[in-house]
Amino acid sequence: MGPGPLENGNHIKSATFLSPKFVLGPGSVENRNYYNIDFPKGHIALKSFNAEVIDEAGNPIPLHETYLHHWVVARYYHRRVASATEKSHPSDDIFAGNSGVCQGSVLRQYFGLGSETRKTATHVPDPYGIEIGNPTKIPAGYEERWMLNVHAIDSRGVEDRLGCIECKCDLYNVAVDENGFEGVERTLYLRYTVKWVDWDSSIIPVKIFIFDVTDTGKRINGSTEVSPESGCQIEYEVKPCNGSGVGVDGCIDMKRTSLTMPTGGYVIYGVAHQHIGGTGSTLYGQDERVICSSIPTYGEGKEAGNEAGYIVGMSTCYPKPGSVKIAEGRI
């Protein structure tokens, strides 16, 4: 096989966009969905998606000022209106998720990261790509669009920063800053860069699977939301150590679940997402072989991308193509 799109440098395309603006003051939270965001058009193969929070001047914002809890990007189909008098409604939209494995529309994004966004690789290696914009797969009367969710928390001046960034909102208590006044609101954006190549027959399409360690394994017919009785829970509470166990290396919360793959194939990329306190995540095969271990990097400074005490990156796995195979019905 000849050089891929990224290797010859001739076919890779890149574009940088800004999300709609959001305004945050100390102790406030942004958590909303933005529909029909700017995104590359046409029948293409996505190669990477990277993002970070910036201010109006384009300056990267450090996590100890605005904590990026997460961002996710999802694909959907929007119904075209037939005339100027006809209106489309959100209920007309069709959610186009990834390949699973959670229930309904839960965790069905194409890309998504959190505080680790600046130092976590997202590129899909050659000759693979995430196929989008295939006109034969878009429902008749619809067009492909993209939705962005941004969850950011302004922790300037809060007394319990860790509590606030883990959404314990009753802890919010804004204090004055070093100049003796409360911090002012500021306008922020999520700046995101998408890389892609035009689709051609040499590209091997990849499927996106998202696993959740809280997955109960239960699948109730028709269930699309998070509930204790159905599938992926997305989050869970890490219980504190008791008594003398606090701060001891042996005080580690471990969680494990078993999943079944709906289809077989080869692993080409893997990464985990964790919050502060996380020590790593490992995906095992049914035979207990290690498929991928993803370990957090904690920052040591103050600048954006190296904030002390925060997870600023997650290691990724790129097995040699064809070397890690998963059979259908197993993992």
Answer whether residue 22 is part of any domain: yes
Q: Give 35-83 pLDDT, tens digit per residue.
A: 999 999 999 999 999 999 999 999 999 999 999 999 999 999 999 986 6
Answer whether residue 275 is part of any domain: no
d(CA 330, CA 100): 14
pLDDT of residue 179: 42
pLDDT of residue 85: 67
Answer whether residue 250 is part of any domain: no
Q: List, in sequence order, every residue forming a beta bridge with 45; answer none if it has no partner.
A: 131, 197
d(CA 169, CA 178): 23
pLDDT of residue 15: 98
d(CA 71, CA 54): 14
Residues of the chain predicted below pLDDT 70:
1-10, 82-88, 167-183, 242-250, 330-331
pLDDT of residue 329: 73
pLDDT of residue 39: 98
Answer whether residue 7 is part of any domain: no
Answer whether residue 206 is part of any domain: yes
Answer whether residue 263 is part of any domain: no
**Number of Cβ within a 10 Å radius of residue 19:** 20
Domain hosting 33: range is 13-237
Cα distances from 47 to residues 39, 121, 176, 240, 268, in angstroms, run: 13, 11, 44, 40, 13
Structure tokens at 34: 């933005």
Q: Does the model's pTM come out above 0.85?
A: yes
d(CA 311, CA 143): 37
Indicate the residue type of 244: S
Answer whether residue 73 is part of any domain: yes
Parallel, antiparallel or unpaired: strands 281-284 and 265-266: unpaired
Give the 3-state DSSP-derived string for 39-67, with helices as H, strands as E and coil as C: CCCCCEEEEEEEEEEEECCCCECCCCCEE
In the chain, the DSSP E strands lie at 13-18, 22-24, 29-35, 44-55, 66-79, 94-96, 111-113, 128-132, 142-154, 186-198, 204-205, 265-266, 281-284, 290-294, 296-298, 311-314, 325-326
Count up the domains in the chain and report the number: 1
Write down the residue that tokens 């990267």 correspond to. Answer: 60
Half-sphere exposure of residue 291: CA atoms within 13 angstroms, side-chain side: 21
- DSSP run (H or E) holding 5: helix 5-8
Answer whether residue 148 is part of any domain: yes
As a whole-number percent, the residues of the chain with pLDDT over 90 amount to 65
